A and B are shown apart, each in its own frame.
Chain A
């Protein structure tokens, strides 16, 4: 069986769920075990989270009711501060436009390519963010550059534990690509990987 999928999405944390569900759905045709699917979902989640918080350094979002109310909060703030009613509306619009532009320029994209070749699932997760200067250091368990965000430093360790192969390519200023393979044994019985 040969199959390929490409996925591109904005580097914001709400898309982490989308990424792992999409990859899980893509591999469903390989008839994997539940455990194999969970392994891949965890690894994808780790890699995508890395792109978002390290690659693009996106600030943390407050989830739940908070995040979708942002535009209203901005509008209210503008309304409260403005003194003259006439130019208020345009000011507000300009303010909105400025916010929007800032968000768009800040927000990078995450790219996922998945391939199935016989019983092997290939997953490539790429960002064009800051990159990693010392890959070996970054992959050390418990090493994190964001302790203030309570990052556990277990991301690469989890990818290694749950996938069969892991390769990290990165250049400072150019971005990072994580290439992972999972041998889905159940799809071809107990056959050894080629």
Chain B
């Protein structure tokens, strides 16, 4: 099975779950920060390929990682987001912090 959180080309890749809610937030945060501590990470990539649902808990997870990366001078990306997920990201104003790409 593919790792949900992995390091590729100095970037931390986080494959977001199908349902990105408060229930999933804590474990993603803990695992992502563990990996960030272990390896030297330059950027963070949130991959929304599998994600069908996201609420403000997902926004919290992204903003939290953004704050960590911003101190280190890294960038944060959101990729493969559906129309709905993009709507949520824009509504929260995350397009100002995160590069949203396909």
Interface residues of A (CB under 8 A from B): 13-14, 16-17, 20, 35, 38, 41-42, 45-46, 49, 52-53, 60-64, 66, 149-155, 157-158, 161
- Give the secondary structure class of B's interface: helix
* Shortest 3 CB-CB contacts between residues of A and residues of B: A13-B23, A154-B56, A150-B60
A62 and B27 contact, CB distance less than 8 A: yes
Query: What's the nearest-Cβ distance from chain B to residue A85, in Å?
Result: 37
Q: What 12 new A-B contacts, CB under 8 Å, besides A13-B22, A49-B57? A: A17-B23, A49-B22, A49-B55, A60-B25, A61-B23, A63-B26, A150-B60, A150-B63, A151-B56, A154-B56, A154-B92, A161-B91
If the complex has contacts A46-B55, A49-B55, A161-B91, are A150 and B22 also in contact, measured as CB distance less than 8 A? no
- Whether B88 and A42, one on each chain, are in contact in the complex, defined by CB atoms closer than 8 angstroms, is yes
B53 lies within 8 A of chain A by Cβ: yes
A101 to chain B, nearest CB (A): 24
Distance A45 CA – B23 CA, assembled complex (angstroms): 10
The CA-CA distance from A16 to B92 in the complex, in Å, is 21
Question: Does residue B59 face the partner (Cβ distance < 8 Å to A)?
Answer: yes
By a CB distance below 8 angstroms, the chain B residues around A38 are 53, 84
CA distance A42 to B84 in the complex (A): 11
Q: What is the CA–CA distance of A17 and B84 in the complex, to the nearest angstrom?
A: 17
A153 to B26: give the CA distance in the assembly, Å: 16
